[in-house]
Amino acid sequence: MIEIRLGADDVPAGAPLVCASEVGYSPLGALLAGDARAKIAPFADWIRYSSSGAYVALIDSPPAPRPLGLIQTDRGPFYRQRHSRRDVVWRDFYYATVYAVLSAMDDRWSASDVELAHPTGYGWPQDLVIVVQEVLRHLDVKSTMSLRRVHFTCLHDLDQARLDAAARVLDAEWDEGRPAESRPLAVVPVDVSAVNAPAPLGSLMLHIVLPDAPTDS
Protein backbone atom coordinates (compact mmCIF):
# COMPACT_ATOMS: atom_id res chain seq x y z
CA MET A 1 0.00 0.00 0.00
CA ILE A 2 1.42 3.41 -0.97
CA GLU A 3 1.21 5.55 2.15
CA ILE A 4 0.43 9.26 2.15
CA ARG A 5 2.26 11.36 4.72
CA LEU A 6 1.61 15.02 5.40
CA GLY A 7 4.51 17.42 5.76
CA ALA A 8 8.22 17.41 5.04
CA ASP A 9 9.54 16.36 8.45
CA ASP A 10 10.37 12.77 7.48
CA VAL A 11 11.18 13.18 3.78
CA PRO A 12 14.50 11.35 3.29
CA ALA A 13 17.41 13.49 2.19
CA GLY A 14 17.74 13.41 -1.57
CA ALA A 15 14.28 11.97 -2.20
CA PRO A 16 12.81 12.96 -5.57
CA LEU A 17 10.58 16.04 -5.61
CA VAL A 18 7.49 16.50 -7.80
CA CYS A 19 6.24 20.05 -8.28
CA ALA A 20 4.75 22.47 -10.78
CA SER A 21 6.92 23.97 -13.52
CA GLU A 22 7.11 27.41 -11.89
CA VAL A 23 10.31 29.10 -10.74
CA GLY A 24 8.91 32.17 -9.00
CA TYR A 25 7.49 32.01 -5.47
CA SER A 26 7.06 28.26 -5.60
CA PRO A 27 8.53 24.95 -4.38
CA LEU A 28 10.73 24.77 -7.48
CA GLY A 29 11.84 28.37 -7.12
CA ALA A 30 12.78 27.76 -3.49
CA LEU A 31 14.89 24.73 -4.47
CA LEU A 32 16.87 26.20 -7.33
CA ALA A 33 19.90 28.43 -6.93
CA GLY A 34 23.12 29.20 -8.76
CA ASP A 35 24.12 26.85 -11.54
CA ALA A 36 21.10 24.58 -11.04
CA ARG A 37 18.76 27.53 -11.48
CA ALA A 38 20.60 28.68 -14.60
CA LYS A 39 20.25 25.23 -16.17
CA ILE A 40 16.74 24.27 -15.08
CA ALA A 41 14.72 27.51 -14.89
CA PRO A 42 14.63 28.09 -18.70
CA PHE A 43 13.35 24.52 -19.19
CA ALA A 44 10.67 24.93 -16.51
CA ASP A 45 9.63 28.23 -18.09
CA TRP A 46 9.40 26.60 -21.53
CA ILE A 47 7.06 23.95 -20.14
CA ARG A 48 5.01 26.55 -18.27
CA TYR A 49 4.51 28.91 -21.20
CA SER A 50 4.00 26.31 -23.92
CA SER A 51 0.59 26.37 -25.56
CA SER A 52 0.88 22.63 -26.15
CA GLY A 53 0.83 19.82 -23.60
CA ALA A 54 0.30 18.17 -21.33
CA TYR A 55 3.97 17.88 -20.39
CA VAL A 56 5.90 16.38 -17.54
CA ALA A 57 9.66 16.19 -17.21
CA LEU A 58 12.26 14.34 -15.15
CA ILE A 59 15.62 15.88 -14.31
CA ASP A 60 18.47 13.92 -12.79
CA SER A 61 20.63 15.06 -9.90
CA PRO A 62 22.91 16.68 -10.95
CA PRO A 63 22.11 19.09 -12.53
CA ALA A 64 19.15 19.34 -10.13
CA PRO A 65 19.89 19.53 -6.39
CA ARG A 66 17.78 16.37 -6.08
CA PRO A 67 15.88 14.28 -8.64
CA LEU A 68 13.01 16.36 -10.01
CA GLY A 69 9.65 15.63 -11.58
CA LEU A 70 8.03 18.68 -13.17
CA ILE A 71 4.33 18.93 -13.99
CA GLN A 72 3.17 21.59 -16.43
CA THR A 73 1.60 24.31 -14.30
CA ASP A 74 -2.06 25.24 -14.43
CA ARG A 75 -1.00 28.89 -14.72
CA GLY A 76 0.18 28.52 -18.31
CA PRO A 77 -1.70 28.77 -21.61
CA PHE A 78 -2.16 25.04 -22.24
CA TYR A 79 -4.19 24.52 -19.08
CA ARG A 80 -5.95 27.88 -18.97
CA GLN A 81 -7.16 27.71 -22.56
CA ARG A 82 -8.95 24.46 -21.70
CA HIS A 83 -10.00 24.85 -18.08
CA SER A 84 -10.58 28.26 -16.54
CA ARG A 85 -12.44 27.35 -13.34
CA ARG A 86 -10.62 27.98 -10.07
CA ASP A 87 -13.15 26.24 -7.79
CA VAL A 88 -12.32 22.80 -9.24
CA VAL A 89 -9.29 21.35 -11.00
CA TRP A 90 -9.19 19.62 -14.37
CA ARG A 91 -9.11 16.11 -13.02
CA ASP A 92 -8.19 14.40 -16.30
CA PHE A 93 -5.12 16.63 -16.54
CA TYR A 94 -3.93 15.95 -13.01
CA TYR A 95 -4.70 12.26 -13.17
CA ALA A 96 -2.66 11.91 -16.35
CA THR A 97 0.28 14.08 -15.34
CA VAL A 98 0.66 12.80 -11.78
CA TYR A 99 0.31 9.17 -12.91
CA ALA A 100 2.80 9.65 -15.75
CA VAL A 101 5.43 11.46 -13.70
CA LEU A 102 5.29 9.04 -10.75
CA SER A 103 5.47 6.02 -13.06
CA ALA A 104 8.40 7.45 -15.01
CA MET A 105 10.21 8.42 -11.81
CA ASP A 106 9.80 4.91 -10.47
CA ASP A 107 11.24 3.46 -13.67
CA ARG A 108 14.16 5.90 -13.61
CA TRP A 109 15.08 6.18 -9.92
CA SER A 110 13.21 3.39 -8.03
CA ALA A 111 12.77 5.61 -4.98
CA SER A 112 10.70 4.36 -2.05
CA ASP A 113 9.84 7.94 -1.00
CA VAL A 114 8.74 10.87 -3.15
CA GLU A 115 7.88 14.40 -2.05
CA LEU A 116 4.86 15.90 -3.82
CA ALA A 117 4.65 19.65 -3.39
CA HIS A 118 1.31 20.86 -4.73
CA PRO A 119 1.44 20.54 -8.53
CA THR A 120 -0.96 23.45 -8.98
CA GLY A 121 0.04 27.07 -8.71
CA TYR A 122 -2.29 27.63 -5.76
CA GLY A 123 -2.15 24.92 -3.13
CA TRP A 124 -4.25 21.79 -2.65
CA PRO A 125 -7.83 22.17 -3.96
CA GLN A 126 -9.98 19.30 -2.71
CA ASP A 127 -10.48 17.84 -6.21
CA LEU A 128 -6.70 17.61 -6.52
CA VAL A 129 -6.46 15.68 -3.24
CA ILE A 130 -9.09 13.27 -4.54
CA VAL A 131 -7.45 12.67 -7.91
CA VAL A 132 -3.95 12.20 -6.46
CA GLN A 133 -5.35 9.55 -4.12
CA GLU A 134 -6.97 7.89 -7.13
CA VAL A 135 -3.58 7.82 -8.89
CA LEU A 136 -1.88 6.30 -5.87
CA ARG A 137 -4.52 3.58 -5.54
CA HIS A 138 -4.05 2.68 -9.20
CA LEU A 139 -0.26 2.72 -8.95
CA ASP A 140 -0.44 0.51 -5.88
CA VAL A 141 -1.83 -2.29 -8.06
CA LYS A 142 1.45 -2.38 -10.02
CA SER A 143 3.55 -5.02 -8.28
CA THR A 144 6.77 -3.63 -9.75
CA MET A 145 6.52 -0.22 -8.07
CA SER A 146 9.30 0.72 -5.66
CA LEU A 147 7.28 3.69 -4.41
CA ARG A 148 5.97 3.15 -0.86
CA ARG A 149 5.44 6.65 0.57
CA VAL A 150 4.34 9.96 -0.96
CA HIS A 151 4.91 13.00 1.23
CA PHE A 152 2.45 15.82 0.51
CA THR A 153 4.16 19.16 1.27
CA CYS A 154 3.52 22.90 0.94
CA LEU A 155 0.27 21.99 2.61
CA HIS A 156 -1.46 25.38 2.99
CA ASP A 157 -4.73 24.25 4.64
CA LEU A 158 -4.44 20.55 3.76
CA ASP A 159 -4.76 18.38 6.86
CA GLN A 160 -5.67 14.82 7.77
CA ALA A 161 -9.39 15.64 7.93
CA ARG A 162 -9.36 16.84 4.32
CA LEU A 163 -7.32 13.82 3.28
CA ASP A 164 -9.87 11.49 4.91
CA ALA A 165 -12.79 13.39 3.35
CA ALA A 166 -11.20 13.02 -0.10
CA ALA A 167 -10.81 9.28 0.44
CA ARG A 168 -14.51 8.98 1.28
CA VAL A 169 -15.47 10.85 -1.90
CA LEU A 170 -13.24 8.56 -3.95
CA ASP A 171 -14.74 5.49 -2.26
CA ALA A 172 -18.23 6.73 -3.19
CA GLU A 173 -17.20 7.42 -6.78
CA TRP A 174 -15.82 3.90 -7.10
CA ASP A 175 -19.03 2.47 -5.63
CA GLU A 176 -20.90 4.38 -8.36
CA GLY A 177 -18.77 2.82 -11.10
CA ARG A 178 -15.68 4.99 -11.50
CA PRO A 179 -12.88 2.70 -12.77
CA ALA A 180 -10.96 0.95 -10.02
CA GLU A 181 -8.12 0.31 -12.49
CA SER A 182 -5.83 2.86 -14.09
CA ARG A 183 -7.14 4.82 -17.05
CA PRO A 184 -5.42 4.32 -20.41
CA LEU A 185 -2.86 7.04 -21.08
CA ALA A 186 -1.05 7.98 -24.27
CA VAL A 187 2.45 8.98 -23.11
CA VAL A 188 5.04 9.89 -25.75
CA PRO A 189 8.72 10.82 -25.19
CA VAL A 190 9.52 14.27 -26.55
CA ASP A 191 12.52 15.01 -28.76
CA VAL A 192 13.47 18.23 -26.97
CA SER A 193 15.68 19.41 -29.83
CA ALA A 194 12.78 19.11 -32.27
CA VAL A 195 10.59 21.42 -30.16
CA ASN A 196 13.48 23.72 -29.14
CA ALA A 197 13.00 23.04 -25.45
CA PRO A 198 16.09 24.10 -23.45
CA ALA A 199 16.30 20.83 -21.53
CA PRO A 200 19.42 20.31 -19.41
CA LEU A 201 21.50 17.16 -19.74
CA GLY A 202 20.04 14.33 -17.71
CA SER A 203 16.41 15.12 -18.43
CA LEU A 204 13.46 13.30 -19.93
CA MET A 205 10.37 15.06 -21.26
CA LEU A 206 7.04 13.33 -21.83
CA HIS A 207 3.92 14.41 -23.70
CA ILE A 208 0.61 13.08 -22.39
CA VAL A 209 -2.11 13.25 -25.01
CA LEU A 210 -5.37 14.61 -23.55
CA PRO A 211 -8.76 15.45 -25.06
CA ASP A 212 -8.96 18.97 -26.49
CA ALA A 213 -11.54 19.92 -23.89
CA PRO A 214 -11.98 18.60 -20.36
CA THR A 215 -14.24 15.56 -20.07
CA ASP A 216 -14.07 15.79 -16.29
CA SER A 217 -14.47 18.63 -13.82
Q: What is the reported pLDDT for 180?
A: 58
Q: What is the reported pLDDT for 174?
A: 78
Averaged pLDDT, 194-204: 95
**Domain-located, residue 215:** no
> Rounded CA gap, 59 and 205, in Å?
9
> Rounded CA gap, 30 and 40, in Å?
13
> Rounded CA gap, 126 and 141, in Å?
24
**Domain-located, residue 134:** yes
**Domain-located, residue 122:** yes
Confidence of residue 178 (pLDDT cuts 50, 70, 90): low
Task: Look up the domain containing 55 and give its range.
Answer: 3-209
β-bridge mates for residue 149, sequence order: 3, 113
User: How far lies 96's CA from each of 33, 34, 42, 84, 141, in Å?
Assistant: 30, 32, 24, 18, 16
Domain total for the chain?
A: 1
**Domain-located, residue 217:** no
Confidence of residue 198 (pLDDT cuts 50, 70, 90): very high
> Rounded CA gap, 27 and 118, in Å?
8
**Domain-located, residue 99:** yes
Top-confidence residue, 72 or 142:
72
